[in-house]
Amino acid sequence: MRRLPLALRLMTRRGSPGRYEVQRETAVRVPAADGSPLLTDHYAPVTSEPCPTVLVRAPYLRSGFPWNLLYGVRIAEQGFHVLLQSSRGTGGSGGEFHSWRNETADGRATVEWIRKQNWFSGDLFTLGASYMSYAQAALAVDPPPEWRGAVMQVGLTDPHEFFWGGGAFRLERSLVGTLGLVQGNVTSGAMLRGALRMRFRLAKATLGLPLLDAYPSAIGGRRPAFEEWLAHPEPEFWHDTDLTTVAGAMEVPTSLCTGWWDLEPAQVIEQYRRMRAAGRDVDLLIGPWTHTNSLERGWTEVFAQTMRRLRREPPAYQVRVHVGGVDEWRDLPEWPPPDAESRTLALGPELRPDRTWTFRYDPADPTPSIGGPLQSPTQGQVDNARLESRADVLLFTGEPLAEPLTVLGPVRASLAASTTAASGDLFVRLCDVDPAGRSINICDGLTRMTGDGRTEVDLGHTAHVFRPGHRVRLQVSGGAHPRYLRNYGTGEPPGYATRLVPTETTVGEGSTVILTVSPEQVNR
């Protein structure tokens, strides 16, 4: 064990002091299930007392900041041994990386190694965000008896839904996700350079044809994982990667955290609902965060939730959600609230069209992704003026509200729609329009449709109050690029497509949006 490097010591001093000094040992070689070395950084409190162990596993952990500070130091200084481990075939670890395939076996092998260490107290916890949450769910396939608690932040359990939910490929998140899938030692500087390259080259790379030839310029080369994700829209291919049922049945006490503009809040909520139905010890925190800022803007709430679980203290709440529109936190007995009910708003009579019921989607000039669950600077909740000024975005807007309208729970749209192409995409977004006309996004979703008929679009969950004088608005368009891969209009395989065909889409009368509202407003 060595003293922390100077840069990390300086960053540590900026926060509140911990209970212990911290030392670390880097690049410890832990054998994977196939014997490959999994490089692991061990952060330890300076004490002779027995301390629990916290295991964190992912492809990109050992790149340095912020994981070395947020997980390595901040947790260790509270009295925990912390292991940050690079998955097989990434970050210098041996073997060949395959997304999702090896995490159960390698997690089990790592626990076997932990058992043999003289510093192991017999109490094991798991922690982490994003892929780190999936690695925790993978460990639940064969849970070790020493496992005392899990903290799963901004996570996922179903990769097919993560990449192909709604029927359109999630392009931006897939490209960003491949940045950390690199064999060999990866530094935080290299990760930063990769992120900057992607920021400046993303637009050109995602508009190039064919995509398989264009995308490498954004990430510095080809990525087999990305190409495999893109090539397989069919659910059958992903069957063995889906841990929804496993995660929903986890017996270990669990804390879940997500943000309203996280990449997959619906998957986190689904795990909470399944665990709650099974009678498990689980709590849920949902803040006004995106996938990338939840551990920054939300650190106070997130860290408090984490330490309660690691210290095995009683939870401060069952569910805590941030409510938009009024900027307040609410503690609830469960999610959605048990007394919430549905309210249906009809497009036409209640949400009136601002222009027309038909739009032309041109994949050569695709409707852009602005705001929402992105990993770009325009992520989160933003002014939608630039999006709503486009001719390919339909707007349906209600009258100013006389009383507040509180939405707590899922939102979905049921649209009578038709398209002139073999398939078309319907991107639907719920917005809050203030008295000055500023429109901000609340929640949204996309579904791929074929032919004519009724299309259901899941807009996810929200907690938001539309205040008096504000208006409810629904946007309808043909995509959100590059968040979703644009629909080429040809039905060609997306990686090889070279033709672009514009489409006409019509939304018919009888279309509705269904809100989940607080009970006192149901009969108003």
| Residue 172 covered by a domain | no
- 282 touches 275 (CB < 8 A): yes
| Residue 100 covered by a domain | yes
pLDDT at 522: 43
Examine the domain organization and report whether 318 and 353 are in the same domain.
Answer: no
Q: Rounded to whole angstroms, how far apart are CA atoms 152 and 508?
A: 42
What type of residue sits at position 517?
Answer: V
| Residue 95 covered by a domain | yes
Examine the domain organization and report whether 307 and 350 are in the same domain.
Answer: no
Kindly give the confidence (pLDDT) of every residue in the chain, 524 residues in length, as a single tens digit, with 9 standing for 90 and above.
Answer: 999 998 898 888 777 678 999 999 999 999 999 999 999 999 999 999 999 999 999 998 887 888 999 999 999 999 999 999 999 999 999 999 988 899 999 999 999 999 999 999 999 999 999 999 999 999 999 999 999 999 999 999 999 999 999 999 999 999 998 886 765 556 667 777 877 888 889 999 999 999 999 999 999 899 999 999 999 999 999 999 999 999 999 999 999 999 999 999 999 999 999 999 999 999 999 999 999 999 999 999 999 999 999 999 999 999 999 999 999 999 999 999 999 999 999 999 999 999 899 999 999 999 999 999 999 888 999 999 999 999 999 999 999 999 999 999 999 999 999 999 888 999 999 999 999 999 999 999 999 997 778 999 999 999 999 999 999 999 999 999 999 999 999 989 999 999 999 999 999 999 999 999 997 654 44
Q: Report the predicted TM-score, pTM, of the whole model to 2 decimal places.
A: 0.96
Residue 222 is classified by DSSP as -
Which of 32, 304, 329, 290 is CA-nearest to residue 151? 304
pLDDT at 62: 87
Rg (CA), the chain: 24
Domain termination residue (choose one: 268, 292, 323): 323
Beta bridge partners of 38: 30
Count of domains in the chain?
2
| Residue 345 covered by a domain | yes
Domain termination residue (choose one: 296, 323, 350): 323
pLDDT at 11: 86
Q: What is the CATH number of the domain that holds 247?
A: 3.40.50.1820
Q: Rounded to whole angstroms, how far apart are CA atoms 418 and 401?
A: 31
Examine the domain organization and report whether 249 and 371 are in the same domain.
Answer: no
Residues 104-136 as b or e (16 or more Cβ within 10 Å = b): bbbbbbbbebbeeeeebeebbbbbbbbbbbbbb
Examine the domain organization and report whether 310 and 365 are in the same domain.
Answer: no
| Residue 417 covered by a domain | yes
Which of 128, 136, 162 is CA-nearest to residue 294? 128
CA torsion, ordered 379, 382, 386, 388, to nearest 10 deg: 110
Examine the domain organization and report whether 403 and 500 are in the same domain.
Answer: yes
Examine the domain organization and report whether 292 and 349 are in the same domain.
Answer: no
Q: Give percent helix, percent strand, percent coil of the chain, each to the nearest 5.
A: 25, 35, 40
Examine the domain organization and report whether 435 and 303 are in the same domain.
Answer: no
| Residue 235 covered by a domain | no
Q: Rounded to whole angstroms, how far apart are CA atoms 351 and 432?
A: 13
Q: What is the CATH number of the domain that holds 513?
A: 2.60.120.260
Domain termination residue (choose one: 323, 349, 364): 323
Examine the domain organization and report whether 399 and 309 are in the same domain.
Answer: no
pLDDT at 45: 98
| Residue 236 covered by a domain | no
Examine the domain organization and report whether 250 and 354 are in the same domain.
Answer: no
Examine the domain organization and report whether 142 and 248 are in the same domain.
Answer: yes
| Residue 165 covered by a domain | no
Q: Structural domain of residue 376, as residue ranges?
A: 341-521
Tokens 């938001």 locate to: 464
Examine the domain organization and report whether 376 and 285 are in the same domain.
Answer: no
Examine the domain organization and report whether 41 and 127 are in the same domain.
Answer: yes
